[in-house]
Amino acid sequence: MKKVFVTGGAGFIGSHIVDHLAEKGARVTVYDNFSAGKNIFLKSALATRRVKIVKGDVLNLKRMTAAMRGHDAVFHFAANADVRGGTKDTRVDLEQNTIATHRVLEAMRAARAKKLVFASSAVVYGEPQRFPTPEEYAGIQTSVYGASKLAGEAMIQAYGNYFGIRSWSFRFVSWIGERYTHGVVYDFVKKLRKNGKVLPVLGDGRQRKSYLYVKDGVEGIFRAITRGRGLSQIYNLGHRESMGVDRLARIVASEMDLHGVRIRHSGGVRGWVGDSPVVRLSTRRMSALGWSAQTKIEVGIRRTVRYLMETPEALAR
């Protein structure tokens, strides 16, 4: 991968991907509409002089195709990140995830790019009954977000069969770490900054999920790209550990030096409609490639909280 195109490259995970590619000597084009991404996330990558930025939307096929020409690989990390939003506006996930992925594939076909790395999600498993959940598990879809990501995976496989595009699709658990801009740790920090005595928590607090530190996740992606085999590959990226929501809340409060915080639950076994109470993925395929998460979940959470507290602009939205 000598010249790489990264959609969503100014975002949380995308910017870490850009850092890694630039450090390894690739020429990188960041394609981002900056609805969630931030220029400051690209500061170190831009300093290498191997990175350029094109401001644009993935739904704008003409602009994206023109920007993509000459690239041999694409990392598609632009997406709607609000898993909960599908009940309010059912079009968002269709447009920002499924249709956007189709536009990326069409741009690749026109630009003759033959390698695609896709950010999918553990949400494609719905509410699984098997833990740790393996890649071959076929769950009933419980959210428009999950359905949109699964549809994207299927479309990528079809384009691979039609046009010889080689792909790696990664089903992520929640990622944490520096440049983190949304999710449970982010929400807890914002709430506790407003009220350090009471923390509202969705659900019953017994939801149990896995979290992956961003640098471990990026290392896993590149491990699979260099060692995996096959035209259309799918990998879970998760952690062997998992953590309950109440435990996570106490760690956040502790790192913020807040004591005696009272947790107030909203009730129910899940945080929102479509939320799976348990997320724990099998990483057998990644283990076979010699990868496993090295950063304990608690360590990753504490690093995330410190980053958010030290970076006011990250909490600005």
Q: Are 61 and 103 in contact (CB under 8 A)?
A: yes
DSSP 129: S
Which of the following is catalytic: 125, 145, 180, 213? 145
Are the CB atoms for 155 and 98 separated by under 8 Å? yes
Q: What is the DSSP secondary structure assignment for residue 302, as one 8-state letter?
A: H
**What 8-state DSSP symbol labels residue 316?**
-
Tokens of 243: 């953590």
Distance from chain centroid for Cα 230: 23
Dist. CA 293–CA 197, nearest whole Å: 33
> What whole-number distance in Å separates Cα of residue 187 and Cα of residue 192?
9
**313 Cα distance to chain centroid:** 20
Residue of 197, 186, 193 whose CA lies nearest to 256: 193
Type of residue numbered 260: G
Burial status of residue 129 (CB atoms within 10 A of its CB: 0-12, 13-18, 19 or more): exposed
Q: Does 211 qualify as catalytic in the annotation?
A: no
Active site residues: 145
